[in-house]
A and B are shown apart, each in its own frame.
Chain A
């Protein structure tokens, strides 16, 4: 079976969604869509035994083979884990959305097309072995998520959030493409597996660190790390199934996937490790700290997602340390990262669904208005409690296990000796602990302020009641998983996590069986992590109970200094700033454009002449100057000066004519009778034309030129004149090739049967030019004719209307 085709199944299914939506009105379209992720989930499950043995499945679909761009599906433990998450949570989300979105009021066709598009894109991201196709799917996730966030496009906040997430994730995507290009050049291949196989040549490339930073920018923007997390809270305007699917379980983990996938390649770089760990741990703290401030249920969850993603990110960074040290604890880090990734998908998905249920059943998501729902919505409360306690890291839920392992790994970082970790490493467990306290606080805040305490149930926009069973199925399944994973973590470890860890640390193991990490809920009292957890619970409970008294510290940060404000200011600046810049030079006045053009001509030519040292002056190349030429030159200069200084248009015409006749005289002197004839006649005809048009022209007047303008014009004019003179002198003084005119002289009678070389060149040797010159003349005549005649017709019509 060619597994690469499975990636495209959701897209193909999406083609049929509008058809089903339009033709079958009685059944909710979601039921048809539900089949797709379930079938895919079942198919991917059958691959588990193979990845457990450490095998991988590769299949290829040719796309542009000549440029080595193909769709290569590479399924190993890591991509299979992600594929199962995408299809599994995808099924639950589709099921949930069937009850969440009404088929009467909503444009379901749109919703499911976007969702299936996203599913394909996400499968493509996690399975692609070719970086170019990975990038293609990566951008497709950005676009489909943009569409999903703006699903209620009549809402201003939705459009704002969609645009913001698009800007930030596409920025990161483009940076990532740059990183891929560098890697592609360094490794001479687009295949990730081959890059990792040639890691030594790639690491020695001078742009290696640059590639690491660019790819991390892509990962950080997608996975909402500091300071790029700002799009995620605004993306909460999306329908809740979308938030649950994209912004907790799948898309935001694409960045984590990328980091995990490239760890074997970049682990040797200290920049990579410091960035991943540092940004991750800081995001963990920042997200958890600001989650407590939020008043919107989904905003709390969004900040919590940011914080948990930071946790996983820092663990992925710690897992890269195994490439430098044999300490067993770093091997735990990668295990913990994957484990928490799975756990987070389960509890955060269920929490988002809970938030959606509360929103739908009470009509508000504002936590200040909610309260006392525990007895009214017992099932929803149970799910919310399980999810929140797991998020806080309490037993008996899966979050406890991964939080313990996380603390263990962070404690182990202190003993790492390279890259100055022995001095700064102590910060990691401290920040991790503080962040855990805040995580505990917002988890309790989330569940008890919504369901606990006494609330004014009457004041809610809708009378609350328990959600319909169908809507509860998905969160209950996820909550059950949360508990089940706590009791049998090693089964999940064996089937899902160990094969994925193998992808992260191929240097340590050959098969997943060699990974001897067992998860134990109980480490004994000598475990440092256990005491830290006890501390978290103790301090967290104290702080939660006294929350009202210290919440004021959040007001210490003025609105001006927030990152959102920074983003808005940046956007404003680029918009109005660019506008100002283009307005400052795009004046709409032709005079200014001429100034730019002529100044550019003079400056560029002068620089070119100077740089190439092209100027030469050879007096021997000049012909002797006659007295007639000098006299005629004086006449010409006088005539032109008169044109410039003339006060009336008539005087300027006449001076122009004089200059034309004196040029004709030059032609006579330099023995060009044809030119002289033509020049004389054309000058006469054009002066006659000027005079014909004369009476219609306005008086010469000042068109707003200031003295400054005039000085600038004079400088530019002198500059251009000087430049042209230099070029003329230089080209006259250094002729490299003899003229071709000897040939014409010899053959004009024998080959062309003529005596006047000029005319023979015009009609015979190079008649082709003449053909088009008369065409130009014809176009000019037709142009004059149409311009004048059509304008007249228009004017007449205007008169008739009056």
Chain B
């Protein structure tokens, strides 16, 4: 029996972006307010999970045509590189640097290498979560 879930799908199209943006917000705000790479990653996974529930695996794979295992590897690589980078300057492993910079378009911004490390965490969480869901879900 083919069910008609147009309401679900339409709502999802809207809600997905709200959740996704919220997760990005939480990711960036993590250094000052509750949040960070881990929760941000999980929320993104949650948003993608919603897509999976409203549509199906094939549609989502078509919309996001990449292998999430590569996302995991990318995340690990970013985290490892940001950690190892200071060693080139005779600093211990995982020394973070930060400072205020005047950037074009954005104006005065404070930048922190911890965000790059957090980005690694974020990518690993999204990739690992999606890999598990897709493999387990796809095995039917």
Contacts and interface: CB of A to CB of B under 8 A. Distances in A.
B132 A784 contact: yes
Interface string B117-134: 110110011011101110
B105 interface: no
B89 to A, nearest CB: 17
Interface in A653-688: 673-674, 677-678, 681-682, 684-685, 688
B54 interface: no
Chain B contact residues: over half helix, strand or loop, or mixed?
A: helix
Contacts of B80: 771
B110 interface: yes
A594 interface: no
Contact of B46 (A684, A692, A754, A775): A684
Given A775-B76, A777-B124, A674 B34 contact: yes
Give the size range of A's interface with the partner. 35 or more
A754 B115 CA distance: 11
A673 B32 CA distance: 12
Given A763-B118, A785-B69, A788-B139, A692 B75 contact: no
B51 interface: no
B118 to A, nearest CB: 5
B120 to A, nearest CB: 7
B49 A774 contact: no
Given A759-B30, A774-B75, A784 B135 contact: yes
Nearest to B121: A774
A631 interface: no
B75 A689 contact: no
Contact of B36 (A674, A684, A788): A674
Contacts of A770: 79, 117, 121
Contacts of A763: 36-37, 96, 114, 117-118, 121
B42 interface: yes
Interface residues of B, number: 49
Given A688-B49, A774-B125, A778-B76, A759 B35 contact: yes
Interface string B56-85: 000000000000110011011001100100
A782 B69 CA distance: 7
A792 interface: yes
A743 interface: no
A678 B32 contact: no
Given A754-B114, A756-B31, A781-B69, A764 B96 contact: yes
Residue of B34, B35, B68, B110 with highest tally of chain A CB at under 10 A: B34
A522 interface: no
Residue of B38, B94, B98, B114 with highest tally of chain A CB at under 10 A: B38
Chain A contact residues: over half helix, strand or loop, or mixed?
A: helix
A768 interface: yes
A12 interface: no
Contacts of A754: 31-32, 112, 114
A570 interface: no
Given A682-B42, A684-B46, A785 B35 contact: no
A695 interface: yes
Interface string A107-134: 0000000000000000000000000000
A637 interface: no
A678 B69 contact: no
Contacts of B127: 778, 781
A682 B39 CA distance: 9
Nearest to B31: A754
A775 B120 CA distance: 11
Contact of B76 (A756, A759, A774, A785): A774
Interface string A750-786: 0011111011101110011011001101101110110
A682 B132 CA distance: 13
B66 to A, nearest CB: 15
A681 B27 CA distance: 14
Interface in A525-568: none
A345 to B, nearest CB: 73
A294 to B, nearest CB: 74
A25 interface: no
A756 B45 contact: no
A763 B79 CA distance: 10
Contacts of B94: 767-768, 771
A781 B72 CA distance: 9
Given A754-B32, A755-B33, A774-B76, A767 B131 contact: no
Given A677-B39, A782-B69, A771 B79 contact: yes
B45 A685 contact: yes
B58 to A, nearest CB: 16
Contacts of A775: 76
Given A774-B79, A774-B124, A782-B69, A755 B31 contact: yes
B14 interface: no
Contact of A685 (B42, B72, B83, B137): B42
Residue of A693, A767, A768, A784 with highest tally of chain B CB at under 10 A: A767
A789 interface: yes
A777 B42 CA distance: 12
Given A754-B114, A767-B117, A784 B131 contact: yes
Contacts of B42: 678, 681-682, 685
B140 interface: yes
Nearest to B93: A768
B136 interface: yes
Nearest to B115: A763
Given A682-B42, A774-B120, A689 B33 contact: no
B114 A788 contact: no
A780 B128 contact: yes
A779 to B, nearest CB: 9
Contacts of A778: 72-73, 75-76, 124, 127-128
B55 to A, nearest CB: 15
Contact of A760 (B45, B114, B129): B114
Contacts of B79: 770-771, 774
A692 B136 contact: yes
Contacts of B69: 781-782, 785
Contacts of B24: none
A674 B135 contact: no
B68 to A, nearest CB: 8
A781 B131 contact: yes
B83 A767 contact: yes
A756 B124 contact: no
Nearest to B83: A771
A692 B110 contact: no
A753 B34 contact: no
A689 B53 CA distance: 12
Contacts of B121: 763, 770, 774
A739 to B, nearest CB: 21
A558 to B, nearest CB: 69
A799 to B, nearest CB: 16
A683 B135 CA distance: 19
18 contacts: A685-B49, A685-B133, A688-B49, A756-B31, A756-B32, A756-B33, A759-B118, A760-B31, A767-B94, A768-B93, A771-B94, A774-B75, A778-B75, A778-B128, A780-B132, A781-B69, A782-B131, A785-B131
Given A758-B34, A774-B75, A782-B72, 18 more contacts: A682-B42, A685-B45, A755-B31, A756-B32, A756-B36, A759-B118, A763-B36, A767-B96, A768-B93, A770-B121, A777-B128, A778-B124, A778-B127, A780-B132, A785-B131, A785-B132, A785-B135, A788-B136
- Chain A to chain B: the 7 pairs with minimum beta-carbon distance, closest first: A755-B32, A781-B128, A673-B34, A681-B42, A759-B36, A774-B124, A781-B131
Interface of B: 26, 30-39, 42-43, 45-46, 49, 68-69, 72-73, 75-76, 79-80, 83, 93-94, 96, 98, 110, 112, 114, 117-118, 120-121, 124-125, 127-129, 131-133, 135-137, 139-140
Interface of A: 673-674, 677-678, 681-682, 684-685, 688-689, 692-693, 695-696, 752-756, 758-760, 762-764, 767-768, 770-771, 774-775, 777-778, 780-782, 784-785, 788-789, 792
